[in-house]
Amino acid sequence: MNKPLRRVAIAMMAMVVLLMANATYVQVIKADELRNDQRNSRTLYDEYSRPRGQIIAGGESLANSTETNDNLRFLRNYPGGPAFAPVTGYHSFVYGSNGIERAQNDILNGTDDSLAFTRLSDLVTGREPAGADVELTVNPAMQRTAYEQLTSKGFEGSVVALDPKTGGILAMANAPSYDPNRLAGHSAEQLEQEWNALNSQEGDPMTNRAVSEIYPPGSSFKMITAAAALESGYTPNSPVQAASSITLPNTNTRLPNYNGNNCGSGSTAPLTEALARSCNTAFAEIAGDVGAEKMRETAASFGFGQDLNIPMRVAKSDMGPMEDAAALYQSGIGQRDVRVTPMQNAMMVSAIANGGSLMKPELVKRTVAPDKETIDEMDPQKLEQAVSPEVAGQLRDMMVQSEERTKGSGKIANVEIASKTGTAQHGDAADQPHGWYVAFAPASDPQIALAVIVENGGDEGAEATGGSIAAPIGREVIRAGLQGGR
DSSP letter for each residue of 142-202: HHHHHHHHHHHTT--EEEEEE-TTT-BEEEEEEES---GGGG--S-HHHHHHHHHHHHHST
Q: 4-8, 49-53, 165-169, 264-268 — which is least confidently predicted? A: 4-8
Chain centroid, CA 34 distance in Å:
30
Nearest 5°: the CA angle 228, 233, 239 is: 95
Whether residue 4 is predicted with pLDDT greater than 80 in this model: the reply is: no
236-289 pLDDT, tens digit each = 999 999 999 999 999 999 999 988 999 988 999 999 999 999 999 999 999 999
Task: Give the torsion sign (CA, 254, 256, 261, 265).
Answer: negative
| Interacting residues of 225 by C-beta distance below 8 A, sequence separation 6+ | 283, 286, 287, 290, 295, 332, 333
Whether residue 3 is predicted with pLDDT greater than 90 in this model: the reply is: no
Q: Which of 183, 160, 149 lies closest to 78, judged by CA?
A: 183
- Cβ atoms of residues 476 and 413 within 8 Å: no
User: pLDDT value at position 31?
Assistant: 67
Q: Which of 105, 96, 61, 54 lies closest to 80, judged by CA?
A: 61
Strands 245-247 and 254-256: antiparallel
**pLDDT grade for 127, boundaries at 50, 70 and 90:** confident
| Interacting residues of 75 by C-beta distance below 8 A, sequence separation 6+ | 65, 66, 67, 68, 184, 185, 186
152-206 pLDDT, tens digit each = 999 999 999 999 999 999 999 999 999 999 999 999 999 999 999 999 999 999 9
398-441 pLDDT, tens digit each = 999 999 999 888 889 999 999 999 999 888 888 899 999 999 99
Q: What percent of the chain has pLDDT over 90?
A: 79
Which amino acid is residue 374, in one-letter code? T
- Cβ atoms of residues 275 and 334 within 8 Å: no
Whole-model pTM? 0.91
User: pLDDT value at position 278?
Assistant: 96
Whether residue 385 is predicted with pLDDT greater than 60 in this model: the reply is: yes
Q: Does domain 219-337 have CATH number 3.40.710.10?
A: yes
**pLDDT grade for 485, boundaries at 50, 70 and 90:** very low
**pLDDT grade for 486, boundaries at 50, 70 and 90:** very low
Nearest 5°: the CA angle 145, 411, 389 is: 90
Which residues are tagged catalytic?
219
- Cβ atoms of residues 330 and 283 within 8 Å: no
**Averaged confidence pLDDT in the chain:** 93
Whether residue 294 is predicted with pLDDT greater than 50 in this model: the reply is: yes
Whether residue 123 is predicted with pLDDT greater than 80 in this model: the reply is: no
